[in-house]
Amino acid sequence: MATTLFDKIWDAHIVQAIENGPQVIYIDKHFIHEVTTPQAFAGLDSKGIKVFRPQQTVATADHNVPTQNQLEPIKEALSRKQVETLIENCKNHDIELYGLGHPFQGIVHVIGPELGITQPGITIVCGDSHTSTHGAFGAIAFGIGTSEVEQVLATQCILQTKPKKMRINVDGILGKGVTSKDIILYIISKISTSGGTGYFVEYAGSAIRSLSMEARMTICNMSIEMGARGGIIAPDEITFAYLKDKKFSAENFEERVDKWKQLKTDEDAVFDREYHFDAADIEPMITYGTNPAMGIKISDTIPNNDDAGLEKALQYMDFQKGQTLIGKTIDYVFLGSCTNSRMEDLRLFCSLIQGKQKAENVTVWIVPGSKQVEKQAIAEGLDKILKDAGMALREPGCSACLGMNEDKIPAGKYCVSTSNRNFEGRQGQGARTLLASPLMAAAAALTGKITDVRSLM
Amino acid sequence: MEKFTTIQTSAVPLNMEDVDTDQIIPARFLKATTRDGFGDNLFRDWRFNADHSLKEDFVLNNKNYTGKILVVGKNFGCGSSREHAAWAIHDYGFKVVVSSFFADIFRNNALNNGLLPVVVSPAFLQKIFTAIENNNAAVFKIDLENQEIEIVATQEKASFDINPYKKTCLLNGYDDIDYLLSMKDKIQAFEIQH
Q: What is the 3-state secondary structure (H, E, C) of chain A?
A: CCCCHHHHHHHCCEEEECCCCCEEEECCEEEECCCCCHHHHHHHHHHCCCCCCHHHEEEECCCCCCCCCCCCCCCCHHHHHHHHHHHHHHHHCCCEEECCCCCCCECHHHHHHHCCCCCCCCEEEECCHHHHHHHHHCCEEEECCHHHHHHHHHHCEEEECCCEEEEEEEECCCCCCCCHHHHHHHHHHHHCCCCCCCEEEEEECHHHHCCCHHHHHHHHHHHHHHCCCEEECCCCHHHHHHHCCCCCCCCCHHHHHHHHCCCCCCCCCCCCEEEEEEHHHCCCEEECCCCCCCEEECCCECCCCCCHHHHHHHHHHCCCCCCECCCCECCEEEECCCCCCCHHHHHHHHHHHCCCCCCCCCEEEECCCEHHHHHHHHHCCHHHHHHHCCCEECCCCCHHHCCCCCCCCCCCCEEEECCCCCCCCCCCCCCEEEECCHHHHHHHHHHCECCCHHHHC
pTM for this model (two decimals): 0.97
Smallest Cα distance from B83 to chain A, Å: 5
Q: Which B residues in the span 98-157 are in contact with A, Cβ-Cβ below 8 Å?
A: 101, 103-105, 108-109, 112-113
Nearest to A403 among B28, B79, B186 (CB): B28
- Verify whether the Cβ–Cβ distance A151 to B31 is below 8 Å: no
User: What pLDDT was estimated at residue B2?
Assistant: 87
- Work out the burial of residue A354: count CB atoms within 10 Å of its CB; fewer than 13 is exposed, 13-18 middle, 19 or more buried: middle
Helices A180-191 and A213-221 meet at what angle, rounded to 10?
20
Q: Is the pLDDT of residue B1 over 90?
A: no
Summarised one tens digit per residue, pLDDT across range B115-161 is: 999 999 999 999 999 999 999 999 999 999 999 999 999 999 999 99
CB pairs under 8 A between A and B: 184
Domains of chain A: 5-160 (3.30.499.10), 308-456 (3.30.499.10)
Cα–Cα distances in angstroms (integers) from residue A284 to residues A173, A281, A361, A435, A436, in the given order: 14, 10, 23, 11, 8
User: What pLDDT was estimated at residue B5?
Assistant: 85
- Verify whether the Cβ–Cβ distance B83 to A146 is below 8 Å: yes
User: What pLDDT was estimated at residue A328?
Assistant: 98
- Verify whether the Cβ–Cβ distance A150 to B177 is below 8 Å: yes
- Verify whether the Cβ–Cβ distance A154 to B32 is below 8 Å: no
Interface contact B171, partner A, CB < 8 A: no
User: To the nearest whole percent, how much of chain B has pLDDT over 90?
Assistant: 98
- Verify whether the Cβ–Cβ distance B31 to A145 is below 8 Å: no
- Verify whether the Cβ–Cβ distance A157 to B82 is below 8 Å: no
The backbone torsions φ and ψ at residue A151, rounded to the nearest 5 degrees and listed phi first, read -60, -45
Nearest to B78 among A227, A308, A402 (CB): A227
- Residue B173's nearest CA partner among B116, B110, B114, B118 is B114
Contacts of B33 in chain A (CB under 8 A): 38-39, 42, 81-82, 85
Nearest to A78 among B20, B31, B83 (CB): B31
Nearest to A127 among B27, B31, B81 (CB): B81
- Verify whether the Cβ–Cβ distance B187 to A127 is below 8 Å: no
Interface contact B186, partner A, CB < 8 A: yes
Contacts of A401 in chain B (CB under 8 A): none
Q: Per-residue confidence of chain A (457 residues) as pLDDT tens digits? A: 899 999 999 999 999 998 888 999 999 999 999 999 999 999 999 999 999 999 999 999 999 999 999 999 999 999 999 999 999 999 999 999 999 999 999 999 999 999 999 999 999 999 999 999 999 999 999 999 999 999 999 999 999 999 999 999 999 999 999 999 999 999 999 999 999 999 999 999 999 999 999 999 999 999 999 999 999 999 999 999 999 999 999 999 999 999 999 999 999 999 999 999 999 999 999 999 999 999 999 999 999 999 999 999 999 999 999 999 999 999 999 999 999 999 999 999 999 999 999 999 999 999 999 999 999 999 999 999 999 999 999 999 999 999 999 999 999 999 999 999 999 999 999 999 999 999 999 999 999 999 999 999 9
Nearest to B194 among A26, A52, A159 (CB): A26
SS3 B100: coil
